[in-house]
Amino acid sequence: FFSPTNGYDRLADGEEQAIQDYCAGYKTFLDEGKIERECVTYTIAQAEALEKAGIQFDHVISIEISDEEIEARMEGRRGCSKCGAPYHIKAKPPKQEGVCDSCGGPVVQRDDDKPETVRGRLEVYHSETEPLKDYYKEKGILNVVDNQPTIAGTTEVILEALGLHEH
């Protein structure tokens, strides 16, 4: 999904002007053909602001995954504090525990991947973002797909939901 950097950081704070800037910048990129018509909204107010700015979606995808699965995945995420190389303790561990394969720097868990932080982010999702599903369902553009064990599997069910995958 596309999130323009001009105002995105402020947009998360819900500032009205940031939403206006976000929409204007997004529309400029869209009109100039620099991006595909993809975007991320986090609240109904942002979705309404995009619509007011003339930005409409053909499809919205909701990938369904349990909070428990999200917590488990996030808890295992690690990153090199020196070069930023990504790791996961189960899916992609470094060759030597705690040491980056690329630069030898320390591999650590980021604060925003810690369980208490993830739970807090999920609470915000359920209260502020999840209501968008009903908003887009009422518009007839919501496509709900179940998360799959692999990226390729999830991509396939998204393409099927969009009618872009031939069986």
Phi–psi pair at 20, nearest 5 degrees: -60, -45
Q: Which strand (E) or helix (H) includes residue 79? A: strand 77-80
pTM assigned to the model: 0.65
SS (H, E, C) 28-67: HHHHCCCCCCCCCCCCHHHHHHHHHCCCCCCCEEEEECCH
What per-residue confidence (pLDDT) applies to 57? 86
Q: How far apart are CA 164 and CA 167, in angstroms?
A: 10
What per-residue confidence (pLDDT) applies to 142? 94
Which parts of the chain register pLDDT below 50? 1-20, 22, 25-26, 28-30, 32-37
What per-residue confidence (pLDDT) applies to 21? 52
Q: Which residues contact 25 (CB under 8 A, 6 or more apart)?
A: 4, 6, 7
Q: How far apart are CA 56 and CA 48, in angstroms?
A: 10
